[in-house]
Amino acid sequence: MSKYLGIDSSTQSITGLLIDTENNTIVAEESINFDEHFKAAYGVENGVFDLGNGAVHSAPLMWAEALDLLLQTLKDQDHDLSQIEAIAGSGQQHGTVYLNNTAAPALQNISSALPLKDQLAGIFSRDTTPIWMDTSTSAQCAEIEDGVGGQDKLLELTGNTAFERFSGPQIRKFHQTEPDAYNNTVYIGLVSSYIASLLAGKLVGVDPGDGSGTNMMDIAAREWSLTALDATAPDLTDKLLPIAPSGQAVGTISHYFMGRYGFAKDCLVLPFSGDNPCSLIGLGLVTPGQVALSLGTSDTLFACMDQPRTSKTGEGAVFASPDGEHYMALTCYLNGSLAREAVRDIYHFDWGSFAEALRITVPGNNGGLMLPYFSPEIVPKVSEPSVVRQDLNEADAKANIRAVIEAQALSSSIHARWMGVDISSLYVTGGASANAEILRIYADVHNCPVHRFETANSAALGAALCAAHGHQSATGNAVSWQETVAPFTEPVAGSTIKPDKEAVAVYREMIVEYQALEKAHTVAS
């Protein structure tokens, strides 16, 4: 026993990750790609429908079909699913699923003889689901902020200003544009709570982690805010179930999954959360001060905070942590690998010579600075691409390479201040974390040790760890979060880079110059 399943229902795929906490191993990791299996049946492209004018939706029935295929695949691989003690999961954040009054009985009376898709096609009051890529709700964002008494009020109440992709603005738009379908809706869930509902065979509430991505949850109380609900759409107290507290089982697995895949009848279903909050756990960030940085296509900074601090200038989002106690800060920089690759390609370098350029140039770059907005930037907000050089010769390839990385590291420090986190360690993941010379600059700028962390499916791993922690607590064998995450979140051996005192001193001065340059060229910083 001691097996726990984490399921991550994300934009392009659904992933199952099975852990064994007795010998601290990941025993299975399987993904079902939506385009590969369902493009013909549903017409999705990269897992979504682009409906134009900023509207981007997906198909909740497809996710149910993919869940069946995922579990069938695990079963076919001879994994004994009867050994799983508990399941938790993660969903792409913000997406809203709308169900009619046939949903609850359909889930309860479901037969394991037929697949989910054949039995659940009629439960939707809206066949498609707006997801996080949808940017069509600017008007509704403004209306909601006005409705609660202004942007600052919404920020204070819910932890976030109104964002187009957040669930509340999407719900408001549905109510305004399709009032009849809205009235036929008896349940509004998020991607996370919808998948949990399928597994539990009953309608399940949204957890605080994903609730914080709705613009409707009181972030401090971890309950729906009546003020925010009123400003969003009518009758929401009826259509939303109460927030499902983190870590408390919502039930046991539905007989459908017992009959079809052999799950045990006492297998617990824990509340599902958003993919980012689950990644916080999957990266091992359960203590305030721990920060992770993912250097991927874009760069993302995740931090564990003790309080729900907010960013008035929209530098980041705040979510409740699924650990039930802490909060997560998330800041996203669009010009991550995009900018690193742009500089590499302009000067015809490869990653090897790129690293060499960093090695032989000096911290502080002899005063040369770059604002590396090769594409528009989210933080700080820059709407048009613009690359600014100060005391930096464009013809000097090596200095430009150093400049882009120093800019990214300095920016990651400046725009982490709103989190109020004293950064004690930085866990770096993502493709560019393979480059130790890049990590060295981050260690010196942040003046803390940097560890490399290798993970592909941190959200699914975080979910599996939530299942383990929840089950152990429910069965009287509670262990601390630290103990739960530690064996699965070890940094890569020998990867730690410690800060260099002299370089730290250089960057302490340089950051002032950099911030002044940034201020002069951007709207908010």
- Binding residues (CB under 6 A) for ligand ADP: these are 296-297, 337, 340-341, 351, 430-432, 434-435
Amino acid present at 356: E
* HEC-encoded secondary structure of 427-474: EEECHHHHCHHHHHHHHHHHCCCEEECCCCCHHHHHHHHHHHHHHHHH
Q: Which is nearer to ligand ADP, 41 or 456 (CB)?
A: 456
Q: Which is nearer to ligand ADP, 171 or 497 (CB)?
A: 497
Q: Output DSSP code: residue 500.
A: P
Residue 376, CA distances (Å) to 30, 246, 342, 391, 414 in order: 35, 36, 14, 23, 18
- Please give the Cα distance from 510 to 409 (Å, whole number): 11
Q: Omega before 380 cis (within 30°)?
A: yes
Give me the least distance between CB of 340 and ligand ADP, in Å please. 6
Q: Which is nearer to ligand ADP, 225 or 276 (CB)?
A: 276
Give me the least distance between CB of 358 and ligand XUL, in Å please. 29
Q: Which does 92 bind (CB under 5 to 8 A by kind): ligand ADP, ligand XUL, none?
A: ligand XUL
What residue number has its CB nearest to ligand ADP?
431
Q: Which does 431 bind (CB under 5 to 8 A by kind): ligand ADP, ligand XUL, none?
A: ligand ADP
Q: Going by C-beta distance under 8 Å and a sequence separation of 6 or more, which residues neighbour residue 486?
A: 284
Q: Which is nearer to ligand ADP, 341 or 513 (CB)?
A: 341
Q: Check residue 46 and give left, alpha or beta (phi > 0: left; psi -120 to 50: alpha).
A: left
Give me the least distance between CB of 317 and ligand XUL, in Å please. 5
Give me the least distance between CB of 442 and ligand ADP, in Å please. 12
Q: Which does 335 bind (CB under 5 to 8 A by kind): ligand XUL, ligand ADP, none?
A: none
Give me the least distance between CB of 439 and ligand ADP, in Å please. 10
- Please give the Cα distance from 333 to 355 (Å, whole number): 22
Give me the least distance between CB of 433 and ligand ADP, in Å please. 8
- Please give the Cα distance from 332 to 107 (Å, whole number): 38
Q: Which is nearer to ligand XUL, 92 or 311 (CB)?
A: 92
Residue ranges in contact with ligand XUL by CB under 6 A: 10-11, 92-94, 132, 165, 213, 274-276, 317
Q: Which does 136 bind (CB under 5 to 8 A by kind): ligand ADP, ligand XUL, none?
A: none
Q: Which does 434 bind (CB under 5 to 8 A by kind): ligand XUL, ligand ADP, none?
A: ligand ADP
Hey, what's the torsion of the CAs at 101, 104, 107, 109, to 10 degrees?
Answer: -90
Q: Which is nearer to ligand XUL, 280 or 450 (CB)?
A: 280
- Please give the Cα distance from 383 to 401 (Å, whole number): 23
Hey, what are 504's tokens? Answer: 């730290």
Give me the least distance between CB of 191 and ligand XUL, in Å please. 9
Q: Which is nearer to ligand XUL, 14 or 443 (CB)?
A: 14
